Every structure is written in C-alpha cells, then in structure tokens.
Structure 1
C-alpha cells in the first residue's frame, strides 16, 4: 500500500523516477551541448548488438560512455583498452538505472586534435609564403629514364610501385632510397634522401607510403622536408596515404597521386606498349619512304638502261635496217615499174629471157624481201606524195641507166651489211659497260654509304620525320622548344636520340 500522509494535495505535483531521470538527461544535454572529453579507455565491452560500452578515466575520475553501433561503424579508429582518446558526444542519463553517461558520437586518438591544429597552422603559413603556388609546379617528363623512389623498402607501397613501373616502363632505371616512413627519425631520413636528388642523375622522383592516421603520416608534414621538396631540382610526385589522406608533401609536390600506385602511373604517362606502337608507326613510315626511294632509283636505272639501249649496237642495227628499207623501197618500185614497162616493149624478148629464168631469180629476190616489203608497206602510208615524186624521178633514172646503177646499188647494199663477228664483239663491250655502270650505281646508293658508318638524321615528332641535312637545321626545327627528338638511321637499324638546346653562355653540344 503506498504511503499517504493524509494531508490534502500532497503528491499531486510529484514526478516519477522515470520522469525525473529523463528531464535531468534533457537538461544536461541542453546545458552542455556537444562536448569533447579526453581520457583513457577502460572496461571496454562490445555487445552482440554492435554497441560499445566503456569508461573514460583519468587519475581521479571516470565517466561511463555508450558508443552505439551506427556511430561506431563510421569510426575509422578502433577502440583499444588503455588508449587515451578524445570522445565527442552529448551528456545524458541512462533512465533505467539513473546512471550519468556520455553518448559518444565520434572518437579520435588524443593526439589527433593537436596534430590537426598544428597541420592547419603550418599549412596556412607555408601557403602564405607561396610554397604551394601553381606557378611553381614543374612539368614531369613524359618518358623518364631514371626514376628515384623514396619509401620504405618493405611493405605494400614499394611493392605496388615496383610492379607498376616494371609493367608500364621496364626500360626505366629505378633507384630506391630506403627510409623509415614513420617515427621520430623518419623525417630526417626523408630529408637526407631528398638532398641526394640531382637533375644530372634523375629525371623524376616519387615519395610514397601507404595510408595511416594523421600521427602515422606526420613525418610527411615536417616543415624542413616540405622546404627541401620545394627546392628539389628534380620534379617530385607525391603518393602518400590513400585518397582521403592529405599531407604537406602532397601540397608542395609538383604532382600528387591518391595512392602509391597512382604516383607510379603519373611518372610513366607513356608506357612500353605506347612506345612499341610508336616504333611500329615509325617503322611503317620508314619502310614506305624506303620503298618510295627504291622506286625512284629503279625509275632512274630504267632511264639509264633506255639511254644505253639507244646508244647500243641493237639500236644502231635497227637504224641501219631502217636505212636499208628506205633504200630498198625505191629500188623495188623501180624494178617493178621497169619490168611492167619492159613487158609491153620487149614482149619478143621473153622467149630469150625464159632460157635464163629471170622470173625464178626475181621470185628468190622477192622471197628475201618479204619482211622488208611488209615494213615498206607500212612506211608507204607515211611517206606521202613528195616521196612518190622522188621515187618516180629515181625510177626514170634507173630505167635510163640500168646497167650503170645496178652495180652501184649492189655495192651500197654490200657496204651496209653487218659483220656478225663485229656485232658480237660490240655487244660484249656494251654488256661489260652496262655491268660497270650497275656496280657504280650500287656503290653510290644510300645503303652502301650507311654500311661505311654513316647515318641519316630525322626528326621523331609529328606525323612524319623530316630529314636533317645540316647542323644549323636542328635549332630551326626545334623552334622555341629546348629539346628535339631525333632518330639516327644506320644500315642495321634506328637509334632514337634527343637534342637539347645549350644554355646561354655555354658552348653548344
């Protein structure tokens, strides 16, 4: 039975235990709001529901804490017994027990807050000095041959970098500067490694390590290291931590990658596959140009051959035959006309001529003149009326002086006949001369010149190379650029080289 004093109105405004606990909890939350409490974790328990219950304590007191599953899953920092942390949350009262507690929203290591403030302070100061300005960023080379890597010699970061560089650009020489990437001595080792980088020995440098907390990555926020990277003569690519991690080394570096693997990819924009494709395109262009040159030389040789044929004994024989045809034509026409006219006037003489068989002799002569007659027929069309008149005059002269002209024509025919032995001797001489000309042509060709140690110099930029004939043309082709990619073509292959513009005041190389 509940106690009642009997006084009227007593207990009318009384609060239940649940009500008073709830109102007290609301009041604590309103008065204090969101608070940060630093202390050491103790009595940590994780319930099956995923909630965490523990106490924060210092030298004299302790505070019960509840870290519910939703907030705990978003916390990247695991809870460890005895670790000093900073818990952020609201004060409240556990109604069922009336226990005063902190409802935790997030947890961070105790040193993270101080480090974050120091990071922001140092970042703003260096930013004001211009160390992070974009105009101070240097371009990284497209195809580095000497790559420096500053990282720990153990761990996944250096393994990923080595695998990526070996896959993308196996010809590059990679030099590792093994350093500690965490701890009190790591910043000094990182600075020492950066001080060893020179533009004469390296084309680009990578500074990498895996992810971690702000305290784990604090060595990469060292002010002296940041200034050393700013003054480094070699372009620097930073790949420290993961995508969510940011260090001062990332801000001062010429390029920043989200991961160590990304840094290796940025350092090798042109891969071995790209180089093979480029070399293939250059080889195709070289082959096409060489084939075109061979065709030009072949046409030139054909022209020489035609000139040699026109000056050779075969052509001279053809011209002599043409002259013979021209001489035989009027002779044949004259004989035919003379025979036709003689048939009418000397019909009575045929019986005497039959005994000497002049017709048989004429048929034999006609048999020998079948081929010249065919050529004669073709030439008759082109000769024209003027030649016919000339032949008519000659024919009339032949009719008048047959006995006088016949021996003369026979003598001229005998004079134009060629001696077979002289023709063969002249043919051998012309063949020997042709062979000598062929050897001279081959000796003067570009392939023989290259075999004697000479090389063709061409550019490697653009869709097709340009042949460089003089040293003064190199600077003209380079234009405003400090470098020009060239290709030395020897007899047994090509060698890519690079011309660099000499510094002002220095001798050109």
Structure 2
C-alpha cells in the first residue's frame, strides 16, 4: 500500500492542532533575555527570547499591550506569559505573549541604564577625555582572568605580532561576587607601573556574567587611570559600561590585542619608509641649502669692490664699443651725405648755368625794354616839373611847366595849348607831339 503524502499546509495545521491540544503549551510562562526587539507601526511588538543555549520567537500584539508598564529593551530579562503555537505561514513555532513582567535578572538591565545615564551626565563618556592609543606600545598590561580563552587569545596574537612586546598580566576575578573590586584593583595596580596601554576585558556571556564591567567602581577606575585603556568585554554584540568609559572599545579580546600590539614587520617597513622619506627630505634640504649658499656667495661676489670695478670696466668697454660703432655709422652717414652733396653740387652748377643763361636772356629783354634804351632810341619821358608823370592830355593844363627827358638831357617847356579828345580846342601850332607810351614822346623821325 502506497504511503499517503501531505501538503505543507496540512502538516502545519496538524502541528498547530497538536500545540493547541497540549495544556502546557496553551498557558505557560517563559523566562529569557530580549533581543532583536522591533516595535512595528501596527502596534505589535516582535522580539526574541534567548538564553545561553536557545532562542524563541515571540510576539506581543497591540491588543495585549494594555498591561505593559515599561518599555521593552534589548538585553532585558523578562517573564513572558502566553501560549506557544505554530505560525503556519512561516512553518515555525513562536510564543504569543499576553503579559510581560520584569524578571529578577532583568532588574540588572534597569540598573545598567540608570548607571549609564548617571555616568553620561558626569561626563565619563565625553570624547574630550578619550586618550589616543600609542602607536608603538612596548609594555602592555592585561586585566582579565588568568585562565580562559581571552588571555590565551591576547598572548597568542601579541607574540605573533611582536615577540618583543612585554605583557603584564593582573589575574583578576571577572565574574561573580568581588569581581568589580578585583577588576578595579587590577586597573589601578597596572596604571601605577607606567605601562603604555592596558587591556581590560573577558570573554562573552550573559548580562549577569558581564555585570562586573557594569559596576560604577570599574567605570571610575577606567576614567581616572592615566594609562590609555582598551575595553574588550564579551563578543561584538555585548556592550558594557566599561566599553563607554574606555578610551577605545574592541569587539573581542583578540581585536584588543590587534589594537594594542603593533606588528613588528609593519614597524620595520614603516622604519624603511620613514628612512627613505627622511633621506629624501634631507637631500632636498641640502640641495636647497646649497643653492641658497651659492646665491649668497654670488651676491657677496657681486657686492665686492673688485666685482664692481670689473662691471664698470665692462660697461666702459661696452660704451667705447658703442661709441666706435656710432662714430663709424656717423662717418658712413656723412660720407653718404657728402657724396650726395657732390652730386647736388654738380646738379646745382648745371642749374646755375641754366639759370645764368636765362638771366642773361631776361637781362637782354629787360635791357631792351628799359627806359634808357628807349630814350636812346629817340623816345622821351614827359612829366610835370614836380616829377608827376604825364599819362594823358587830361593831366596837362595850359601854362604848366613840363619836363621832357631825352637820352642826353631834359627839355623844360611851358604849355601854351592842349589838344586831345577830351579838349575840343586844339592848337596845331603847339610844339612837340606826345607818344603813346607811358609818359614817353617820340622825338625821332
């Protein structure tokens, strides 16, 4: 006979029925620590209850929150009452919470929050008080249990990174009664030794396991220590008051060893790099100083009397050379001008010869047209006795004395009668006839 198969939904419903029929699962109280807390916008609260070995999904619906008197926080120890059933859609079981009460151990979380607020107000967490870790720590103090994984991890990593690092262990009690006093005493003891850095911590655990690192006395010891302190308490998700007060928090003791102990090989590489950088800077510095010295030497030489005299001599030689050059150019220019003048002289002689011939022609023409030549040709110049030239018969009145200039002398006569177009009366017997020229009269044939 073939076995019957069931769908996933059928199996989920069957399991849900089994959970519902179980009287214990219908009404029970579960204690645990809250984690993965989420307040949903619908009003529902989802979280996980866990202990050191297991975890359980839980939900508190909005309708059941009326009796909740405090706000849930991750890390709280609580007592949750409700029923366990199967969440068919997800195929998992979870606790449907009806009420939540603070567990006895959950009070530790409230004390934790109260101390955290108090120390924050006192400035214990202020970054201004955080000290920088030394880059090359040689002497490292460790406050933790003398046995356990934490100290073994720290020693192993320290030896691997730098076998020459000195490790000073204070074997403190890290859990239970008297643990806070032991831890604070260890911090104070190693702090007085003048070490480079301290590692304070332990391995992981529950909030009650780590509670010694949430004590005010431990926080005060860390805050007042002169030595930089690395807190390495629990695992990465665990956070204690010591983590907030310390100068640096490491997620694990192993990580704290990585922070505290410098790696020797990297140190050697860094030394080589620094040496190379130093030599490069020194060479650059020496080159600059040499150039500066050469410039100063050059300035000193340039300011010396010998250099000034040499410079003056050079300037004088340059001036002499410039003078010779200019004189040569001047002489060359004067020669060119002289040659031009010589050519101009020939041209001027030629021009003067032509002008001289022209002058002779003009002189001849002028001489031919001169009054003396005309007088010599039988013409005469007629004027009044006072010298006024006679141009027309209208300038003459009967009885006037006239001067008739001829080539070899003057003839002075008195006018008896004037004839002309302007004067109707004309005396034909009047001696002499005037010429047509300006004041000239013709005496010739």
Normalised TM-score (structure 2): 0.43
Instruction: Please state which structure has a larger fraction of its residues in helix.
Output: 1
Radius of gyration: which is bigger? 2
